[in-house]
Amino acid sequence: MKKICLLFALFAVSLSSCFKLDSQLFNNLKCTQYLLDNYTGTQDFILGNSYKIPDSLIHIFTLQSQGPGENSPTQIYAIYIGDISKIATDTVIMYCHGNKWNMDFYWQRAKLLANTGSKDQYGVLMVDYRGYGMSSGTPTENGMYADVNAALQWLSNNGLSNSRLIMYGFSLGTAPATMLTANPRSMVPSKLILEAPFASAATMVDDASQLDLPPSYVTTFQINNAQEIKSVKQPFFWMHGLGDTFLNWQTNGLVVYNNYQGSYKQKVLVPNANHGQVPAFDGFTKYSSDLYAFIKM
Amino acid sequence: MRKQIYKLTSFLVTCILSILLLNSCAPSRLIRPLEKGQKVIGANIGGPLFSYSGTIIPVPLSALMYAQGITDNTSVFGSIHTTSLLFGVAQTDIGVCQRLYYNDSLRLGISVNPTLNLADVFWPQTAGAFKCWPQLDLNVYWEFKPHKSFIYAGIENWFELAQQRADEQPQTTHWIFCPQAGYTYARPKWNYSIEMKFIAPNIDNLPNVVSYQGINGMGALGLYFTVIRKI
């Protein structure tokens, strides 16, 4: 009997290597070059030729990202759509992409944002978080915040003023977008747009299990848009698909929207749109005009 | 190569998320009480079915268990959830299997398993992460021959006592029930069981981060295998 108990204990201890879901939740895909319009992988939508960005307005470059407490910087890749020499006088959308793959997957979205309102209207900057695409390193929550902040620092260095900075987050990207709007580092965004946000890591766990399962059972993530949004005073625009089968709009986006305590908020709920389908199901024209009106107000 | 790496990553994400989801569900520990003084150890693996690349597989949740007959009608059992251990969570279910009824001529029995499922995080240590979920299983079993192999059917009930869930939202689901059926092949030293559950048949399985295989968009079917060694 004692031997059996010992075997039980040894087996249990041998299994207890204690990993969490953190790294697994980043669905990153490495690549050796960015293909942009030549990318042939699965995409949520592909825009027509009228949205094409002239080569002269596409800039792929690297940034050095170093978060608090990190000993050395990590090299990440960024894409800027627009005229870099005019950043000081342009309005720029900082686009924080979702957890999937890399910037090639989000290229169509960036083009759509650049053409909001009219042809090549806004500058758009996006980065591949560390571990994504051609960026070095491994994805982490704090690394993601540092990477977006490195992008904001670059915009600031190029003369962008806070009043012309629009923060846009999609899905996982709503975490750095909300965090860096609520707790600014290099720049203070003037407006916040969240598409298909999740409320928190805890909500995702609870939604999945139907139980009040503590998030620490499976993750060390501290992501909590539902709390961070309470510190956001800037105007806030929330978009969510009512057919989102991944992030329930009621337990996620609506909680964030209701918790917002700032000066102005608006929402667009798109019937039947699944996760990632908001622009297409809303209609590119309506999506753009709604965004344009919000940015211009 | 890139696609293969992505597929592997995607599989890992799906698998591990699936382990997280409904990780509380396990097969019934004992259907038929042990004989007085009898001791057994066992292991089980299985979980909710989900779709991955067109293939439907059960999530490999696992646990080790020990049980002992107190009387011919009452046994006690306890378990260690080995999958939870991988996540730094100490999880156990401890309970009693009580025979409520047995008909000698029909070889038909009814048993009930009141159980406490307890869990807490040991890595990283986190305050306020202790959970206790009461559980109550009710099963009817029919033996092919007295004290031999048997089939069974029943219902597992999970109770969530919390009034609030994440982000100060109300916890609306307090009762999760799972109809179940299984077969136990009894040998002199070993028992082998297969069990099928319909987990939460009253709850939509969408939206969700995992493609659970339920029925008409509800709940998830679960498949479990158990091996028991009499000692």
Of A21, A212, A255, the CB nearest to B16: A21
Least confident range from A32-36, A118-122, B132-136, B193-197: namely: A118-122
Contacts of B89 in chain A (CB under 8 A): 217
Cα separation of B54 and A196, whole Å? 27
* CB pair distance less than 8 Å for B164 and A217: no
Verify cis geometry, omega within 30 degrees of 0, for the bond prior to A271.
no
Give residue A187's Cα distance to chain centre.
17
The reported pLDDT for the residue numbered B22 is: 46
Residues forming a β-bridge with B121: B89
Enter the tokens of residue A272: 């039947």
Interface residue A216 vs chain B (CB under 8 A): yes
> Pairing between strand B89-103 and B108-121?
antiparallel
CB of A242 less than 8 A from some CB of B: no
Please tell me the distance from the alpha carbon of residue B184 to that of residue B181, in angstroms, as a whole number: 10
Residue in chain B lying closest to A244 (CA): B207
- Sign of the Cα torsion A187, A204, A100, B123 reads positive
Q: What is the signed CA dihedral for A164, A168, A174, A180, rounded to 10 degrees?
A: -10
Residue B207 preceded by cis peptide, ω within 30: yes
How big, in percent rounded to 5, are the helix, strand and coil portions of chain B? 10, 60, 30
pLDDT category at A12 given cuts 50, 70, 90 is very low
**Which chain A residues have a beta carbon less than 8 Å from that of B87?**
18-21, 217-218
Chain B residues near residue A24 by CB distance under 8 angstroms: 12-13, 16-17
Q: Which of A25, A29, A255 sits opposite B167 (nearest CB)?
A: A255
- Asked casually if ipTM beats, i.e. exceeds, 0.85, the reply is no
Q: How far is CA A92 from the centre of its chain?
A: 16
Q: Which of these, B203, B206, B126, B223, lies nearest to B158 by C-alpha position?
A: B203
pLDDT digits (tens, 9 = 90+) for B55-95: 888 877 889 999 999 999 999 999 999 988 888 889 999 99
Predicted pLDDT of residue A18: 58
Q: Helix A141-157 and helix A174-182: axis angle, to 10°?
A: 60
Determine how many CB atoms are found less than 10 A away from the CB of residue A150.
Answer: 24
- Among B20, B118, B229, most A C-beta atoms within 10 A, so best to mutate, is B20
Cα-Cα-Cα-Cα dihedral sign, residues A77, A80, A85, A86: negative
Among all chains, which residue has been given the structure tokens 């990477």?
A147
DSSP letters, B74-109, are EEEEEEE-HHHHHTTEEEEEEEEEEEEEEETTTTEE
DSSP state for residue B33 in the 8-state scheme: P
Residue A14, chain B, CB below 8 Å: the answer is no
SS3 assignment, position A265: strand
Q: What is the pLDDT of residues B125-140, one digit of tens each?
A: 777 889 999 999 999 9
List beta partners, residue B89: B121
Question: CA of B41 to nearest chain A CA: how many angstroms apart?
Answer: 9
A48: helix, strand or coil: coil
Q: How far is B26 from chain A (nearest CA, A)?
A: 14
The SS3 of residue B43 is strand
Token pair in block for residue A13:
């201890």
* Cβ-Cβ contacts under 8 Å for B122 (sequence gap 6 or more): B88, B89, B90
Q: For residue A244, what is the DSSP state? A: -
Cβ–Cβ contact A118 with B under 8 A: no
List pLDDT tens digits, range A151-202: 999 999 999 999 999 999 999 999 999 999 999 999 999 999 999 999 998 8
Exposed/middle/buried for residue B182 (C-beta within 10 Å: 0-12, 13-18, 19+): buried
CA distances (Å), origin B93, targets B9, B53, B77: 32, 33, 8
- B206 vs B222: CA distance, rounded Å: 17
Q: Do A12 and B85 touch (CB under 8 A)?
A: yes
Does A215 or A255 have the greater pLDDT score? A255
Query: Which pLDDT score is estimated for B83?
Result: 84
